[in-house]
């Protein structure tokens, strides 16, 4: 069972945040390892500084992973191990809102899993997943991978699948999505800042919080 995300998933653009990305040896947080962590701290829409480290996973990197991100055993030989890298990452991210693409289902699961095993702790930062923002703001796109969203905004996808490049690419996408979001109306949950979505219940349609079941806020649809 993958670890649950602890912080709340926010749906509305915030101007102060840390955007991050991981490269891994595979897609299973319980079995696979992190081989690169990058993050960029942004305040009032401007980059403050960046954080990036390769990670020595203590095992050979499968060729399938190297094919995606180009990271080889040779490159990580002198890199810190995950315990040190993750502790630096936590010091860097503090309690900032975390932003990333598909982090709800992927990157945060890895972070939670390793945090539990190495430090017996959870990651409680609230977070924004730009995949959800992209689906919400760009429903006309058939696919919402980071490179799809970047291409839509005519943002360069050169160097994709290395963590820091993806952070920068996603930061530009996030800022664009934030602007788009202002032009559409979103009903926000007054309890947790999640998105209120139309749901069907026994008594007809109502608004329910997207953070259900953690948040059980509901409201009637105003006619
Ligand atoms: Zn809520």
Tell me how far apart the alpha carbons of residues 141 and 160 are, in angstroms, rounded to a whole number.
20
For the ranges 13-17, 79-83, 132-136, 187-191, the lowest mean pLDDT is seen at 187-191
Both 29 and 125 in one domain: the answer is yes
pLDDT at 3: 61
183 Cα distance to chain centroid: 23
If asked whether residues 158 and 217 sit together in one domain, one would say: no
Ligand 1 centroid to residue 136 C-alpha, Å: 17
Residue 170 shares a structural domain with residue 201: no
95 and 201 belong to one structural domain? no
Q: Residues 100, 47: one domain?
A: yes
| 128 and 213, same domain (yes or no) | no
Of residues 102, 98, 132, 112, the one with CA closest to residue 5: 112
Beta strands across the sheet bearing 46-54? 9-10, 127-129, 98-100, 17-24, 34-43, 46-54
When divided into structural domains, the chain yields a total of: 2
pLDDT at residue 1 is higher than 60: no
Say if residue 137 is in the same domain as residue 193: no
In a domain, 139, yes or no: yes
In angstroms, the CA 168 to CA 157 distance is: 10
149 and 134 belong to one structural domain: yes
C-alpha 191/C-alpha 210 separation (Å) is 11
Residue 2 located in a structural domain: no
CA dist., res. 58 & res. 55, Å (int) = 9
Distance CA 196, CA 217 (A): 9
pLDDT digits (tens, 9 = 90+) for 129-149: 999 999 989 989 999 999 999
- Report CA(167)–ligand 1 centroid distance (Å): 28
Whether 216 is covered by a domain: the verdict is yes
Shared-domain flag, residues 167 and 71: yes
Co-location of 121 and 100 in the same domain: yes
Domain that holds residue 215: 187-223
- 208 alpha carbon to ligand 1 midpoint, in Å? 8
Centre of ligand 1 from the C-alpha of residue 218, in Å: 8
Q: Is residue 133 part of a domain?
A: yes
- Find the catalytic residue in 104, 144, 161, 185: 161
Answer yes or no: is 79 within a domain: yes
Reply yes or no on whether 104 is catalytic. no
CATH at 100:
3.30.420.10
The CA distance from 154 to 102, in Å, is 20
Instruction: Give 21-58 pLDDT, tens digit per residue.
Output: 999 999 999 999 999 999 999 999 999 999 999 999 99
Asked whether residue 130 falls in the same domain as residue 192, the answer is: no
Percent of the chain residues topping a pLDDT of 90: 78
Is 205 part of any domain? yes
Is residue 67, in this structure, part of any structural domain at all?
yes
Looking at the structure, do residues 70 and 131 belong to the same domain, yes or no? yes
In a domain, 70, yes or no: yes
């Amino acid at each position: 069972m993958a670890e649950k995300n602890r912080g709340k998933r926010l749906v509305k653009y915030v101007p102060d945040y840390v955007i991050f990305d991981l490269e891994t040896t595979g897609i299973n947080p319980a079995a696979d390892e992190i081989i690169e962590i990058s993050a960029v701290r942004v305040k009032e829409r401007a980059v403050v500084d960046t954080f990036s480290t390769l990670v020595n996973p203590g095992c050979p990197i499968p060729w399938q992973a190297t094919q995606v991100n180009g990271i080889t055993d040779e490159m990580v030989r002198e890199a810190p191990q995950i315990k040190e890298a993750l502790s630096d990452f936590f010091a860097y991210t503090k309690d900032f809102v975390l932003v990333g693409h598909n982090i709800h289902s992927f990157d945060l699961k890895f972070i939670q899993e390793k945090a539990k095993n190495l430090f017996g702790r959870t990651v409680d930062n609230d977070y924004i997943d730009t995949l959800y923002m992209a689906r919400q703001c760009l429903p006309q796109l058939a696919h919402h991978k980071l490179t799809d969203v970047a291409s839509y905004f005519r943002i360069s996808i050169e160097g994709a699948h290395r963590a820091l490049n993806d952070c920068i690419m996603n930061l530009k996408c996030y800022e664009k999505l934030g602007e788009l979001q202002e032009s559409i109306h979103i009903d926000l949950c007054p309890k947790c800042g999640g998105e209120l979505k139309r749901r069907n219940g026994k008594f007809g349609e109502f608004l329910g919080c997207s953070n259900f079941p953690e948040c059980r806020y509901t409201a009637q649809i105003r006619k």
